[in-house]
Structure 1
Amino acid sequence: MSKTIQIAGLEVELVRKAIRTLRVTVYPPHGRVRVAAPLRLPEANIHEFIEARRAWIQKHQARFATQTPAAELSYSTGETHYYQGRPYQLRVHATEGRARVVLQEDEGVLDLYAPAASTPAERQQVLAAWYRARLKEQLPALLARWEPVVGARAAAWGVKQMRTRWGTCNTRAHRIWLSLELIKKPQDCLEYVLVHELTHLHERLHNARFWGLMDQFMPDWRQHKARLNQAVPGQPQPTAGDAD
């Protein structure tokens, strides 16, 4: 159940949940603010939490206001799609066989084979399945590389489409999830998110201890984070401003 309240000059959607800590999220494209709060937490505490983060919220709202809206993709020949940080031209081919995607790296082309009567949504599913398979192929080797560095092991991991985050971590289950959109970013961005989520297995909160551990495990994480959050014109950017 949610309601809209005014805090520090901001319109905020307040949602009560069976959680232990407050979380505020700023959503693209218009900078909508949503705070999730424990069921019995006094509203005065929520006001104090939002007021302390007002500058952070407004920074993300300003960033979203300057972003170019993502283009409506039709998954047709000539469109640009990204893989591991590199733009590729999509070529769509009619086929009576299995729908699939073939990477032509030297040509800078993604060949997508689908039935002649396929819809944009169906072609999107074909490309998404290919992206998912490529990301899942890469993760075991990256986990084997970074888990010893971080000194923490994920009991389980997965890939899913996320609207507002690059990754999440369930610290109790030692399970991490990574955004499917990461396959479109350079590999160092993927590695940054992986290390970020593994570090949460040591420290749940984004506090001084957490960032100190990030400095220890990946000294250049700030560079990778900045690159990750660079919007690509015409491409959707799944992340929102999110602070625990």
Structure 2
Amino acid sequence: MSDASELVEIGGIQVQVNRKAIKNIHLSVLPPNGRVRLSVPMGSSEQAIRLAVITKLAWIKKQQADFTAQPRQSSREMVSGESHYLWGTRYRLNIVNTAGKHQVRIKGNDKLELAVSENTSIDNKLKLLNGLYREQVQDEISKLLPYWQKKLAVDSAYVGIRKMKTKWGSCNIEARRLWINLELAKKPPECIEFILVHELVHLIERHHNERFKSIMDKNLPDWRERRNLLNSLPLAYEDWSY
């Protein structure tokens, strides 16, 4: 039987209900605007669905309020003087005209220099900047991955980098394939290490249960502080917690 999705209103809140071939009900409040998603087993009754939402109304509203209050970067114009972040540090963008190859450089402790031709589009400037972010994230993963795979006694088949709208990281347990969000290049280095460890631990324990937390506590004792740091920082300008 294929998955089915519908939008319903419960307790004054719009809820996206997804019927899936699963055993338990899962409730999520998603950034950036607190959209509510409820995944339920195929045969769930309307009463069970309503009860799952009604009993969590206070929690849902608290999550939505937190998202509303969370600061966001303004829309990027890619002009000189604009602020951009790399590993939690603010850099000022400096656009330099060039007739040669387009490139981006870190200049000192507070400047990102984009050398581009005069009529380069915003999108192409962003692609150039994202190329720097990708290199930085790849370098960080290359340093962290061997250490953490040995420490946790796990072996991932692949760790990729991509922009994701609602997750900082993901793990396909069967394929042992991890994805790390490119946006982590903008956050302090402690954040990407937390996400990498979090996803690697899923290769040991699939669920966010007490065993999962115990493994995190043993290997990365300050993981909760790192998670709170990550979720207290500005969301990306595209409008997309962990």
TM-score, with structure 2 as normaliser: 0.88
Query: By how many angstroms is 1:184 displaced?
Result: 0.8
Query: By how many angstroms is 1:97 displaced?
Result: 2.0
In structure 2, distance between residues paired with 1:175 and 1:238: 26
| Matched AA of 1:216 | K
Is 1:142 aligned to residue 139 of structure 2? Answer: no
- Would the aligned equivalents of 2:104 and 2:114 in 1 still touch at CA under 8 Å? yes
Structure 1 segments, 4+ long, off by >6 Å, are none
Is 1:15 aligned to residue 25 of structure 2? Answer: no
Q: Please list the CA deviations of residues 66-122 of structure 1 after superposition, one character each: whole Å capped at 9, or x if unmatched.
A: 12343111011001100011100010112222221101133x100011221011111
| Matched AA of 1:185 | K
Q: Please list the CA deviations of residues 36-94 of structure 1 after superposition, one character each: whole Å capped at 9, or x if unmatched.
A: 345x2414544444345444322210101212343111011001100011100010112
Q: Please list the CA deviations of residues 162-195 of structure 1 after superposition, one character each: whole Å capped at 9, or x if unmatched.
A: 1111000111111110100111111111100011
- Report the count of equivalent residues: 238
In structure 2, distance between residues paired with 1:157 and 1:237: 24
Query: Which residue in the other structure is 1:94 paired with?
Result: 97
TM-score, with structure 1 as normaliser: 0.88
In structure 2, distance between residues paired with 1:21 and 1:197: 22
- Would the aligned equivalents of 1:92 and 1:111 in 2 still touch at CA under 8 Å? yes
Instruction: Give the gaps of 5 or more residues in structure 1.
Output: none
Is 1:209 aligned to residue 218 of structure 2? Answer: no
| 1:32/1:239 CA distance change after superposition, 3 Å | same
In structure 1, distance between residues paired with 2:19 and 2:145: 35
In structure 2, distance between residues paired with 1:190 and 1:173: 21
Instruction: Provide the aligned C-alpha RMSD in A.
Output: 2.3
In structure 2, distance between residues paired with 1:30 and 1:235: 13
| 1:161/1:68 CA distance change after superposition, 3 Å | same
| 1:228/1:237 CA distance change after superposition, 3 Å | farther
- Would the aligned equivalents of 2:30 and 2:36 in 1 still touch at CA under 8 Å? yes
- Would the aligned equivalents of 1:26 and 1:240 in 2 still touch at CA under 8 Å? no
- Would the aligned equivalents of 2:98 and 2:115 in 1 still touch at CA under 8 Å? yes
In structure 2, distance between residues paired with 1:104 and 1:62: 39
| 1:54/1:149 CA distance change after superposition, 3 Å | farther
In structure 2, distance between residues paired with 1:111 and 1:89: 8
| Matched AA of 2:29 | V
| Matched AA of 1:211 | K
- Would the aligned equivalents of 2:70 and 2:232 in 1 still touch at CA under 8 Å? no
Match of residue 67, structure 2, among 64, 68, 73? 64
- Would the aligned equivalents of 1:93 and 1:114 in 2 still touch at CA under 8 Å? yes
| 1:54/1:101 CA distance change after superposition, 3 Å | same
Query: By how many angstroms is 1:28 displaced?
Result: 3.2
- Would the aligned equivalents of 2:183 and 2:236 in 1 still touch at CA under 8 Å? no
| 1:214/1:54 CA distance change after superposition, 3 Å | farther
In structure 1, distance between residues paired with 2:152 and 2:240: 24
Identity %: 35
Query: Which residue in the other structure is 1:236 paired with?
Result: 237
In structure 1, distance between residues paired with 2:203 and 2:197: 10
| 1:47/1:217 CA distance change after superposition, 3 Å | farther
